[in-house]
Structure 1
């Protein structure tokens, strides 16, 4: 196997000890560096010219890419915080800026870094990117519970992992990690839906998810009889055709007599108190229920 193939297998960034296990000698690494095939990143670490930028930056700090930063490239739903998440050894020191090896890290947030300390072991990690399971466990430590559950749901839904593998990792950690796993479900339609349903659950507001409505298809959430809540994730509803389809669905739901609330990703994630206040007010006024007059008028939610 050629050096280029080995580096690709390791994700473009590798510790020399990993390369040795694949048959690449230290002399071979030095030759590749002199030839410009590999670039030295820090002591014991090299990377290819096209290696992922965030992985390079995490290793430059002195750790491994983890949590949101490792999960998003895999397509796992995450409530993005714009930080570089790096796991380092439990007692690791002499950490560097993600953009300049000569500059001490100092306060991590000043460099846009969220630092994760390994729960066991004092040595710095010798992998450039955490496994999906480890990254999910690290996410529990730095994100609110609902967002962590949503990420677990997403990974399970996409079949990137399974409950058994997650259970092995969670069993070695805290009650909080096991609770997040217990709340997760592979049937969740989206991370945004998970976040909304868990928050409604905490409020004691009953709901149904992915309700099939005639002529409309599946709606994200239905509270009571007639309050339909649709959640516009970042990756959807951005094209002209999708926009038109959303409006067609809303029009038909209104014809059925439903109240329709449509929330964006930013509103659910960053403005939840306002969203919550609106839903609670509608429920308090019992506007989520059919009135006798509406029923006499023949209104109703026709299910498929």
Structure 2
């Protein structure tokens, strides 16, 4: 192929990745008009990464995202929350949280796409067998799924020593129980911030600003 042809192929491949949130299966490139050997050549030239056989990623995707895809899922929980800019506990990096389908198989070690593992064998990975509320955003769950656990009610995120952030699910919200819970933690000296599903979805910037303001006051 001539240089101009490679430039067009590169542009096409990067367009596919952009349309799929940074990661895509080989089939997506084929549907866009690229041949399998072209996709392979683009990878060999360093334009893309290949975290897992049949999957390709933009080189801008952080290592946590490519490792999650290598496992067989997408970045989840506090790992995904951190990627969205949500403050998380400082030791969260010790485990890579990955959401996989309930029927997921052919799991791989997060550092080696040729190393097939069973659930729990990769000590660096915390698997989440969950049906997601939203479509994954490429290599990570949506911010809503990052903050809401499998029961869709709430997840607690302890930021620093005293800031407790809670996100309420839409379906199982119980205001009375939440008030009792919040009072209990405030009695222990915690600052409690609680955000609704709608607020997280429609005003994420405001949510993050409130968390940052609370942190600055600690």
Which residue of structure 2 lines up, in the alignment, with residue 133 of structure 1?
144
Secondary structure (helix, strand or coil) at the match of 1:68 reads: helix
Structure 1 unmatched runs, 5+: 154-165, 184-196, 211-232, 238-245, 247-261, 263-304
Q: Note if contact 2:155-2:167 (Cα within 8 Å) is conserved in structure 1.
A: no
SS of the residue corresponding to residue 152 of structure 1 reads strand
Q: Which runs of 5+ in 2 are unaligned?
A: 1-10, 159-163, 193-211
User: What is the TM-score of this pair, normalised by structure 2?
Assistant: 0.59
1:70 partner SS: helix
Whether the 8 Å CA contact 1:37–1:49 is kept in 2: the answer is yes
Q: What secondary structure is seen at the aligned counterpart in 2 of 1:77?
A: coil
What do the CA deviations read for 1:231-262 (whole angstroms, capped 9, x no partner)? xx8x967xxxxxxxx9xxxxxxxxxxxxxxx7
RMSD: 4.3
Tell whether the 8 Å contact from 2:131 to 2:150 is kept in structure 1 after alignment: no
Q: Which has the higher helix share?
A: 1
Aligned length: 175
> CA 1:151 to 1:145, structure 2 compared with 1: closer, same or farther past 3 Å?
closer
Structure showing greater Rg: 1
What SS does the corresponding residue of 2:157 show, helix, strand or coil? helix
**8-17 or 99-108, which deviates more:** 8-17
Matched residue, 1:283? none
| Per-residue deviation, 1:44 | 2.2
Distance 1:48 1:206 in 2: 45
The 1:146/1:18 distance shift into structure 2, 3 A limit, reads same
Q: Following the alignment from structure 1 to structure 2, what is the Cα–Cα distance between the partners of residues 152 and 204?
A: 17
1:92-133 Cα deviation digits (max 9, x unpaired):
22211100122233453743111011338xxxx894221222
Counterpart in the other structure of 1:25: 34
Partner residue in 2 for 1:4: 14
What secondary structure does 1:130 align onto? coil
In structure 2, do the counterparts of structure 1 residues 64 and 204 end up closer, same or farther at CA, with 3 Å as the change threshold? closer
**What CA deviation, in whole Å up to 9, does each residue of 1:30-80 have, x standing for no partner?**
342243322332232012334210011011111111111111121113235
Determine if contact 2:22/2:138 at 8 Å carries over to the other structure.
no
Which protein, 1 or 2, shows the higher relative CO under an 8 Å CA cutoff with sep ≥ 6? Answer: 2
1:111 match: secondary structure = coil
TM-score by length of 1: 0.45
List aligned pairs for 1:117-156, cutoff 5 A.
117-119=129-131, 127-137=138-148, 139=149, 145-147=155-157, 150=165, 152=167
How far apart are the structure 1 equivalents of 2:174 and 2:33? 43
Aligned residues of 1:11 and 1:51 also touching (Cα < 8 A): no
Name 2:183's counterpart in structure 1: 201
Please name the residue that 2:105 is paired with: 93
